[in-house]
Amino acid sequence: MYEYQGVIHVHTRYSDGNRVATAVIQAAMDADLDFLVITDHNSLGAREAGLEGWHGHTLVIVGEEITPPGNANHFLALATGSHIPETMAPEDYAPAVQGHGGIGFIAHPDDVAKPFLHLDAYPWTAWNTSGYDGFEIWNYTTDWASRDYNLWQFIRALCFPLEWIQGPPAETLHRWDRMNKEATTLLAGIVGADAHGYGYTYKRMFRHVRNHVWLEKPLSGRDPVEDTQAILKAIARGRLFGALDGWKPAAGLSFTATAGDTTFLPGDILAGSGTVQFTCRLPHPAAITLLRDGDVVARQEGTTLTYITDSPGVYRVEVYGRYHGRVIPWIFTNPIRLDNGSMDGNM
Ligand SMILES: [Zn+2]
Ligand SMILES: [Zn+2]
């Protein structure tokens, strides 16, 4: 597999970001990102300016964050070909994006207020919908900005953001596990930076929080349309993990399920009886936990965890590190689901 690292959910001056899109792209190049997904509020300005495609070794992909008036229901629309009107009912965003051949993610579903910055909560409330590819399991800016800082703590959080990061909200992870138990195809979990470039600079955030996507063949580096499709398809099918690379670079992690001679990856569903071996390998020692339907079934300090089972369920890995004496979130993989029943039940 070929691993590519990128940042999803980034604002520029086409909406409320602090820098023009070309400067944001330069920051992505400086941070050595393989891909950057720009999602301005209700704007495809960066696409209209011809900024999609390869910039050095960084592939720029432009979508938008559909943002209705009011304090709820932001939706990330990628690869749609055209602007999706924010005036339609939020329940209709995902079907509209799908109808335009795009992929869609619910943004910050359990968003909370950011008291120090006097910003409201913007959660997702229109759950009576379908056709989306997944949601942000972790919105990094909300995580960082939502603490009830005093001025001194806020200054410290600007200097040492990793001292304050908490990881994905528990209710988001619970919902994700619960939904993936029942879903026909797995809902993908992405990490959204929601970078705006105020205080916490773009370049810094691009180094701190990333999505790591696995592809079966390398990007061409020449055909931006084909390369964009490859990245977005892999994201939509859950072939990725999110990581706080600002703690330790997470590149090289693997999480697999092996059944007989076949190896499965995050985003896959295995149907059939028999035993399966789950294996997680890390590039750096840390505390690895394997979860089934949200419950921890195995835990290992180090670089490798293996677990043999025949119990059906949604399996995913969370990894935690230590920073200045506190436990911090490092890695959240997408799940591999093990289904019950005979192989031919799914033919
Ligand atoms: Zn938003
Ligand atoms: Zn946003």
Q: Is pLDDT above 50 for 101?
A: yes
pLDDT in the model for residue 274:
86
User: How many angstroms does the Cα of residue 44 sit away from the middle of ligand 2?
Assistant: 14
pLDDT of residue 102: 96
Domain count, the chain: 2
> Which pLDDT score is estimated for 344?
40
Q: What is the pLDDT of residue 272?
A: 79
Please provide the average confidence, as pLDDT, over all residues in the chain.
95
Indicate the pTM of the whole model.
0.96
pLDDT of amino acid 174:
98
Residues 161 and 287 in one domain: no
Tens digit of each residue's pLDDT (9 = 90 or more) over 224-270? 999 999 999 999 999 999 999 999 999 999 999 999 999 999 999 99
Q: Does 303 score more than 80 pLDDT?
A: yes
Q: What is the CATH number of the domain that holds 28?
A: 3.20.20.140
Query: What's the CA-to-centroid distance between 112 and ligand 2, angstroms?
Result: 13
pLDDT of residue 81: 85
- CA–CA distance, 292 with 337 (Å, rounded to integer): 9
3-state secondary structure of 78: strand
- Summarised one tens digit per residue, pLDDT across range 316-342 is 999 999 998 899 999 999 999 999 864
Domain of residue 257 covers 249-347
Q: Are 118 and 197 within one domain?
A: yes
Distance from Cα 318 to the centre of ligand 1, integer Å: 25
> Ligand 2 mean position to 152 CA, how many Å?
26
Centre of ligand 1 from the C-alpha of residue 191, in Å:
13
Residue pair 186/238 in contact (Cβ under 8 Å)? The answer is yes
| The pLDDT value given to residue 341 | 62
* Predicted pLDDT of residue 104: 97
pLDDT at 343: 44
| Residue 142 banded pLDDT, cuts 50, 70, 90 | very high
Q: Which burial class, exposed, middle or buried, applies to 43 when counting CB atoms under 10 A from its CB (0-12, 13-18, 19+)?
A: buried
Q: Are residues 333 and 216 in the same domain?
A: no
For residue 269, give the CATH number of its domain.
2.60.40.10
Which residues make Cβ contacts (< 8 Å) with residue 11, sequence separation at least 6? 17, 38, 39, 40, 41, 65, 194, 195, 196, 197
* Residues present in the chain in total: 347
